Structure 1
């Protein structure tokens, strides 16, 4: 069983990953500024309050860790101003991981990041750019920084996120020719992350995750 650091663990995909990893028998260090308020009870869970932009906090959180899952998010209201969290946090994380001797990093970015941007359908392109453009420009920088590292990385690019329980019925699109947007539950994204950190099937590759495709 792995000792997993989840960065951005207090909500969204990060919190679902904490739950899924614990259910699979892993030890989890849940890192977030509000980590102390995570309402889970498990002897293998360690709540680790910290700031993803603090090299001191991140360095301390990496001690004894086997795998890092970076699952940061920003509030919807912040999408309409400058977004730097993803790249700034990654610029802190990557050298800290390298110094700690950790090899494996799974980074949650999103469909439309990097080379998947070309797969956005014409009906989705303008609204995507208007709402998510600033954030995804920053996610591009996030992915580029990770690619320049020597880490065993995987980019997880989910489509449009939904709530609810995991269904187990989702597609892992690992070829650029198959990439398309769609809906997927956060809990299913988390299940994939835990499965992939165990199998290492997608080291050095980006994957798009969807359950139901959206009209192009």
Structure 2
């Protein structure tokens, strides 16, 4: 599979790039810095620039968006994701996986007790960005999956995770190592039953 990761110079995206390459996939990473794990094709550029994004996603079998916010820029995640979606539609690329956040969309019910209210208040600005991002994804007509991790950590991976849809009676935990989230992403990319679904993810 040819996979393009938008925002893969560090964090979860970089872990995904390494895992995908080790699994035999061809990987391209688009980031502003142009950084990428060793052996991965790196593209430097602004992920809101249609020409840059088109060059990175054309020919891919799947695209993963793992971008964070940008200081001083409102709704950076939504802006990047909208540009990616348009480029995918133009290039005929169907499979899209997007990293959002637990608390976005209808997922606050997956947060235990009063944490849902606290999260909505404390993280109002980034969650507004994620809500717009998710709206673009679900309305894209693409084969999308949204992943909403709980708190992310740099702990050593456990090799396991929980990926639950809203309404599942099981409970999510407090955090998930970034490398475990990346492993979850790679599995989701290969799972046709995950298309059109959003999952909360924890350790």
TM over 0.5: yes
Q: Structure 1 unaligned runs (5+)?
A: 212-216
Maintained 8 Å contact 2:4/2:27: yes
| Distance 1:174-1:119 versus aligned 2 partners, 3 A rule | closer
Structure 2 equivalent of residue 9 of structure 1: 8
Alignment of 1:140-151 (within 5 A): 140-151=131-142
CA shift for structure 1 position 107:
0.3
CA distance in 1, matches of 2:58, 2:12: 23
Structure 2 counterpart SS, 1:176? coil
CA spacing shift, 1:59–1:82, aligned 2, 3 Å: closer
Aligned to 1:115: 106
SS at match of 2:194: coil
SS in 2 for 1:201: helix
Residue 20 of structure 1 corresponds to which residue in structure 2? 19
Q: 1:186 aligns with which of 174, 178, 181?
A: 178
Q: Is the 8 A contact 2:7 2:65 kept in 1?
A: yes
Query: After superposition, what is the alpha-carbon deviation per residue over 1:6-57, rounded to whole angstroms, capped at 9, x for unaligned?
Result: 000111111111111111111100110112x33x322xx2011111111111
Q: Find the aligned partners of 1:61 and 1:148 in 2 and give their Cα distance.
A: 22
Deviating more after overlay: 122-131 vs 106-115: 122-131
RMSD, matched Cα: 1.8
| Secondary structure of the corresponding residue to residue 136 of structure 1 | helix
Question: Quick one: distance in 2 between partners of 1:176 and 1:154?
Answer: 17
Which residue number in structure 2 is paired with residue 214 of structure 1? none
Tell me the residue number matched to 1:30: 29
Structure 1 stretches of at least 4 aligned residues deviating more than 6 Å after TM superposition = none
SS of corresponding position for 1:177: coil
* TM-score, normalised by the number of residues in structure 2: 0.92
Aligned residues: 202
Gaps of 5+ in 2: none
Report whether the alignment pairs 1:41 with 2:38. Answer: yes
Name whichever of 8-17 and 179-188 sits farther off: 179-188
**Structure 1 contact 82–134 (Cα < 8 Å) conserved:** no
Q: Which has the higher helix share?
A: 1
Question: Which residue matches 2:57?
Answer: 62
* TM-score, normalised relative to structure 1: 0.87
| DSSP-derived class of the 1:6 partner | strand
1:196 aligns with 2:180: no
1:170 aligns with 2:161: yes
Cα deviation code 1:85-114 (max 9, x no counterpart): 011112211111100000000000011110
User: How far did residue 82 of structure 1 move?
Assistant: 6.3
